[in-house]
Amino acid sequence: MKFVLIAASTAMLLGGCSTMMADDMEMGGRMTAGSMAMPTTASAYMEMAHSSDMFEIESSRMALQMSRNQAVRSFAQMMVNDHTRMMNEMMAMAGPRA
């Protein structure tokens, strides 16, 4: 069970890395130190935060489905609740898109 969770998490992380590398390749084919820095625009930050929240929510839902350990399940549920709340609050602050 742990192997499946680790494998799925690794696949999701690597998928995100390949997207970042593809974006860097489109910008001239070179990767610079700045390309791994934090986003500098509000929309880029929102996109990064949303992606991060979705990863935490989905991986925690997977833990809820697969684990019978109550401590793991409690932590996973807390992660789902917290990241869902944060995502909703961020979207409310951003307001409607034009």
Residue 75 to residue 73: CA distance in whole angstroms = 5
Label residue 2 by pLDDT band (50, 70, 90).
low
Tell me what the pLDDT averaged over the chain comes to: 78
Q: What confidence tens digit (pLDDT) does each residue in 28-38 have?
A: 545 455 556 78
Q: What confidence tens digit (pLDDT) does each residue in 45-95 have?
A: 888 999 999 999 999 999 999 999 999 999 999 999 999 999 999 889 887
Characterize 85-98 residue by residue with b for buried, 16 or more Cβ atoms within 10 angstroms of its Cβ, and e for exposed.
ebbeeeeeeeeeee
Q: Note whether 60 and 76 are within 8 A (CB).
A: yes
Residue 51 to residue 12: CA distance in whole angstroms = 11
